[in-house]
Amino acid sequence: MEKLSALLVQEPVSLIGVEEQVQWIQRELRGIVIRHRFTEEAIDVAYDVEEFIDCLILTSASQARSGRSLEDVISSDDDQLHKKLEWIMSKIRALPPPAIQYSMSARAPITEIDWLRLSSALDQNMANTIVSPVIEKVTALLAQGALPPRVKKSASRVQDKFRLMNGFLKDLESVELNDRGMAWMEELCHVSLSTVDVIDQFMKSRQQVKGSWVGSLGRDVLDFGHLISQHKLAKKLDHIYAKILGLSIRRPEEAHGNSTQRTVPRNTSPIPDPTQEPDIISFGDDVHAIMTRLLSDDTSFSTISIVGMPGIGKTTLAKLIYNNEAVVDHFPFRAWTSATDWDELFKDLMGQHIDYKAPRSWKTEERMRQKLNAFLKGKRYLIVLEDASRVNFLNELVRTLPDASNGSKMILTARSMRLPSKLQRASVHHAVQLRGDDESWALFTHSLKVNISQELVKLRREIVRRCGGLPVAIVKLADVLSQKDATIEEWSSALQQLNQEQQQLWSYTLSRINEDLPLYMQRCLFYFSLFPQDFEIPARRLTVLWVAEGLVQAEDENETPEDVADRYLITLIGKGMVRVTKNKLNGNVKSCLLPDALRRYWSSKALQATFLQVGTNTKSESSLGTGMIRRLTDHLDKGDVSFDHIHGDHKTISASVQPLYREVVSFLSFDTQEGSKPGEDIGNFLHRCISSSCLLLLRVLDLENVFKPKFPEALGKLTRLRYLGLRSTFLDVLPSFVNKLQSLQALDVKHTNITTLPSPIWNMQQLRQLYLNERCHSKVMPQPSVGSSSTLRVLVGLFVDEETPVTDGLDQFINLRKLGLTCHLPSSQQEAVVEWVQKLNNLESLRLKSIDEENQFWDLDLKPLAHHVNLSCLYLLGRLKNPSVGSEFPHSLIELTLSGSELEEDPMQTLDKLPNLKVLRFLANSYLGKNMGCSSGGFPQLQVLKLWKLEQLEEWNVDEGALQALWDLDIRSCKRLKMLPEALRHKARLKLKLTDMCSQFASWKEDH
């Protein structure tokens, strides 16, 4: 409408002869807008009008150089113009009449559905993941200009259709999708990825044409090729539009009020509490973690939120803590309540300590709050609020409690926690996780009321698998089996009979989980199914795969997709869905997995949604309807349909098999066999597929731990590849085709033998993460380009020597968040590195090593880092030439490692004031002094301390009140240190490791 009106106003003379037709079209379009007749046919007419105007203006612009006006253009092509307008008018006349508007009561509008209680940001995530990338890419395409009207029309139609999907997808978050609905969602995700890929490939080819220099004849050839490329783009976009149109017609009925919203199924019932008393056998670490916070010297009021799925033991854990003798002694006033209204709360909190009966005059909420505040004032109290699900009620309670600053605490238990704003900073979330196999077996044997024979131990795996790490299921099973004869036949029979009851326990748990698990997080959980059972997945590997596949989308410009992926993982861990198998010393997640019971559940969901495909045989593949694989994994399973294709001796991929691999977006291999065969099999399979036009849509190629994979030259055709994972492959050379992978976002060649990076790698416009192997002194070849300077966030393992371009080279990468360098530079040339580091204001992790020709530590020139307010992890190896560096660290530091620093002043006197420091390592020759001291109140958060090879250290003093949070102390090869500080000798639950110490120290340890 806007374009048509502008044409009538600005070029009235030029429309002589067709003005009546144009005005008629304008009136009809205005009528369509007024009557809200936004049918597919009406929208299509609007696109035709826009295309007509664009053609008119574009033709005028191209003729303007020859002195011809828009009027001349129209006059010269009058018949064709009339025909075009008549054709548009005929389409308008053929539009169906407006639909009769029925009463809204005939069908419940989507807004009346009882939505999940999610924050607005979370509500938008599924829509953002699918719609936002398309909108951004089409917007970028249209902004380039000089596009033919047909391409603009095709792109605009696709963009508008995705925009219309946006609201529907938000609504879909609030309902439980059936298998068909999940498959529909997965197909929509694939169409979104295809749209982004198609436009991305066109824009890149267009950019290459612009950047190339050719003669006039070559330019004509390029222009002709570009016209063909535009024609192909329009056809592909029209094909995508047809797909999205079909998906719109087949939208899931769940979001139209025809299906139930997310609720607990009727055939499930709440999980009963275990009949036996709670025992610390399965909660030792949890109890210690919470007790440490409860009994700390921190006098401020704070809350500890115990969160986790139903049946995981939140209440049991809270009871263990509430009744602990140390807690009873520490808190003169304790109260336990599960009330959700003031009357019950008042009775619980006061009635447990006095003979209480509230007079009628206290019955108003305000009066009760006043009385409770007065009663608690001056007392150090501990309140446990069970099942704290009502945020408003919790908010009122927090406002009522006196702010005594005497160390009072509150413990909350809930499936998921949403705290009042007042508590968000003064709260710690403790996620209770599913028990591991060893923990599950320990709890089971402890809960048995009979002795277990060695023969019955054979059933351990089956028992642990059935319980899935859920404490209530473990205790329930132990209770039932205790009443059976202790024979393998009787127990095996009982296990078969109990199968349905165990499924009901899990059915209830999983249904409650699904209540508040958004669709976008379900897709992240699907991804765990790609990994082998019991495989401990590195957190960095999982999140980079999520990002590469587009499962996460940054919600604003201040965060990266990697930030979002990390947040998703922490959320899933917090819900008890994902189990952490290893933590880093600083508390970050190192590896994780899905417990067996949950893995089976989410694998079946992923298959139903066609996120995964059945891989047992070709027939089962075809039964899916799509007849293709989108995520290919090699688990060395001979029953898998792809096993023979990958590991067989085929020369080519047969025509009947090719459709299976046409739309693969991810390929992960777990062939970790020794020898050359795994690498050769991978190379041959990739060559056969790519030669048959398969795997060309690949976004992820993850070959981590596959020994020396062979790469065909054709791999350079994988121009959509975003992640290339070659970690621990021991490759000797980075393949030459890597410079063609212009969509690459992450390249990981850590733990390989690659020593040289080709210079084209710096031309990758989208490269965000680059992991190299510092042990092999991976070097950068000549001058980096400015192309990737704005996108690179991680650069780890790079070797810097005199030939490395730092000034006007590496120092262009100013947005780095993680940097790891090994420098072999004379002091005079370190200045460039120093200045570069100073400019990295977003730095979160810094690892700097300075070595000589013999790989021994060397001078390390550095300026104070106090202004790096985001820096949380710092590793420095080398002789610090500037002593002030050791005393001016940022307060944001969580982990600090010093090696070879040769500090002469006691660093403890300044480091103990870092409020967030949790891990501190003093390695060889980091400190040359004889005495070291920790003052009272120092290191309030320090949990891990390592003192290695401090050869001059003779005395270490620790005042009372210092190192209150310390639980891991490792002293190694400090041979002049004779005794552990008095304040640490009797510290409860201190994990002490002593290695290569003097005989006096060793004898003291034996006595204690």
Residue 623 has a pLDDT of 35
Comparing 744-758, 781-795, 882-896, 942-956, the range with the smallest average pLDDT is 781-795
Comparing 108-117, 573-582, 962-971, 980-989, the range with the smallest average pLDDT is 108-117
Q: Is residue 868 scored above 90 in pLDDT?
A: yes
Beta bridge partners of 877: 849, 899
How would residue 951 be classed by pLDDT, with cut points 50, 70 and 90? Answer: very high
Residues with Cβ < 8 Å from 89, sequence gap 6 or more?
A: 21, 24, 25
Comparing 397-411, 494-508, 757-771, 876-890, the range with the smallest average pLDDT is 494-508
Residue 88 has a pLDDT of 66
Q: Is residue 659 scored above 80 in pLDDT?
A: yes
Q: Which residue has the higher pLDDT, 214 or 402?
A: 402
Q: Which residue has the higher pLDDT, 819 or 45?
A: 819
> Which one-letter DSSP state was computed for residue 829?
G
Domains of the chain, with CATH numbers? 2-171+179-200+227-242 (no CATH), 280-431 (3.40.50.300), 719-1007 (3.80.10)
Residues with Cβ < 8 Å from 105, sequence gap 6 or more?
A: none
Q: Is residue 675 scored above 60 in pLDDT?
A: yes
Q: Is residue 545 scored above 50 in pLDDT?
A: yes
User: What are the tokens at 845?
Assistant: 């992790």
Q: Is residue 261 scored above 80 in pLDDT?
A: no
User: What are the tokens at 180?
Assistant: 């068909």
Query: Average pLDDT, whole number, for the chain?
Result: 79
Comparing 3-12, 14-23, 648-657, 703-712, the range with the smallest average pLDDT is 3-12
> What is the arithmetic mean of pLDDT over 735-740?
84
For 585-644, write each residue's pLDDT tens digit.
888 899 999 887 788 888 888 888 888 875 533 333 333 344 679 999 999 998 888 999
Residue indicated by tokens 């079209």: 25
Q: Is residue 287 scored above 80 in pLDDT?
A: yes
Q: For the residues of 580-607, what is the DSSP string, one character each?
A: EEEE-TTS-EEEEE--HHHHHHHHHHHH
Q: Which residue has the higher pLDDT, 21 or 442?
A: 442
User: What are the tokens at 496?
Assistant: 């078969």
Q: Which of 575, 574, 577, 579 is nearest to 590 (CA)?
A: 579
For 546-556, write each residue's pLDDT tens digit.
999 999 888 77
Q: Is residue 654 scored above 60 in pLDDT?
A: yes
Residues with Cβ < 8 Å from 652, sequence gap 6 or more?
A: 688, 691, 692
How would residue 492 be classed by pLDDT, with cut points 50, 70 and 90? Answer: confident
Residues with Cβ < 8 Å from 827, sequence gap 6 or more?
A: 859, 861, 881
How would residue 321 be classed by pLDDT, with cut points 50, 70 and 90? Answer: very high
Residue 30 sits at φ, ψ, to 5 deg, of -65, -40
Residue 653 has a pLDDT of 75
Residue 954 has a pLDDT of 94
Beta bridge partners of 384: 336, 411
Residue 44 has a pLDDT of 64
Chain Cα centroid distance, residue 163: 25
> What is the arithmetic mean of pLDDT over 644-666?
85
> What is the arithmetic mean of pLDDT over 685-694?
93
Beta bridge partners of 634: 669
Comparing 175-179, 398-402, 418-422, 477-481, the range with the smallest average pLDDT is 418-422
How would residue 175 be classed by pLDDT, with cut points 50, 70 and 90? Answer: low
For 952-963, write each residue's pLDDT tens digit.
999 999 999 899
Distances (CA, A) of 701 to 93, 169, 406, 631, 674: 53, 30, 56, 10, 20
Q: Is residue 926 scored above 50 in pLDDT?
A: yes
Ranked by mean pLDDT, the top range of 364-378, 758-772, 790-804, 867-881 is 867-881
Q: Is 208 exposed, middle or buried (0-12, 13-18, 19+ CB in 10 A)?
A: exposed
Q: Is residue 326 scored above 70 in pLDDT?
A: yes
For 89-127, write each residue's pLDDT tens digit.
666 666 665 443 333 333 222 222 222 222 333 444 567
The answer to whether 548 touches 540, Cβ cutoff 8 Å, is no
Residue 83 has a pLDDT of 67
**Count of Cβ atoms closer than 10 Å to residue 776 Cβ:** 18
- Dihedral over alpha carbons 582, 584, 590, 591 (to 10 degrees): 0
Comparing 89-98, 360-369, 707-716, 766-775, the range with the smallest average pLDDT is 89-98
For the stretch 853-862, contacts whose Cβ atoms lie closer than 8 Å and that sit 24 or more positions apart, written own/partner, are 853/824, 857/899, 857/900, 857/925, 858/824, 859/827, 859/830, 860/823, 860/830, 860/900, 860/901, 861/827, 861/830, 861/831, 861/833, 861/834, 862/834, 862/837
Q: Is residue 257 scored above 50 in pLDDT?
A: no
- Dihedral over alpha carbons 293, 296, 302, 308 (to 10 degrees): 10
Q: Is residue 784 scored above 80 in pLDDT?
A: no
How would residue 252 be classed by pLDDT, with cut points 50, 70 and 90? Answer: confident
Residues with Cβ < 8 Å from 586, sequence gap 6 or more?
A: 872, 873, 894, 895, 918, 919
Residues in the chain, overall count: 1008
Q: Which residue has the higher pLDDT, 577 or 80?
A: 577
Q: Which residue has the higher pLDDT, 218 or 955?
A: 955
For 511-539, write each residue's pLDDT tens digit.
777 666 788 888 899 999 999 988 999 99
Q: Is residue 885 scored above 60 in pLDDT?
A: yes
Residue 501 has a pLDDT of 66
Share of the chain above pLDDT 90, in %: 30
Q: Which residue has the higher pLDDT, 927 or 123?
A: 927
Q: Is residue 200 scored above 70 in pLDDT?
A: yes
Q: Is residue 294 scored above 50 in pLDDT?
A: yes
SS3 297: coil
Q: Is residue 979 scored above 80 in pLDDT?
A: yes
SS3 565: helix
Q: How far apart are CA 961 and CA 974, in angstroms?
A: 24
Residue 495 has a pLDDT of 84
> What is the arithmetic mean of pLDDT over 446-474?
85
> What is the arithmetic mean of pLDDT over 299-317?
86
Comparing 323-337, 398-412, 594-608, 769-783, the range with the smallest average pLDDT is 769-783
User: What are the tokens at 773?
Assistant: 């192997």
Q: Is residue 843 scored above 90 in pLDDT?
A: yes
Residues with Cβ < 8 Å from 110, sequence gap 6 or more?
A: 171, 255, 256, 257
> What is the arithmetic mean of pLDDT over 245-253?
78
Q: Which run of H or E residues covers position 91?
A: helix 78-93
> What is the arithmetic mean of pLDDT over 124-147?
77
> What is the arithmetic mean of pLDDT over 687-695?
92
Q: Is residue 763 scored above 70 in pLDDT?
A: yes
For 468-482, write each residue's pLDDT tens digit.
788 888 888 898 899
Global pTM reads 0.77
Q: Is residue 79 scored above 70 in pLDDT?
A: no
> What is the arithmetic mean of pLDDT over 82-93?
66
Q: What is the CA radius of gyration of the chain?
A: 33
Residue 475 has a pLDDT of 87
Q: How far apart are CA 927 and CA 906, in angstroms?
A: 8
Q: Is residue 678 scored above 60 in pLDDT?
A: yes
Q: Is residue 489 scored above 70 in pLDDT?
A: yes
How would residue 1008 be classed by pLDDT, with cut points 50, 70 and 90? Answer: low
User: Degrees (nearest 5) of the Cα angle 256, 261, 262?
Assistant: 145
How would residue 977 be classed by pLDDT, with cut points 50, 70 and 90? Answer: very high
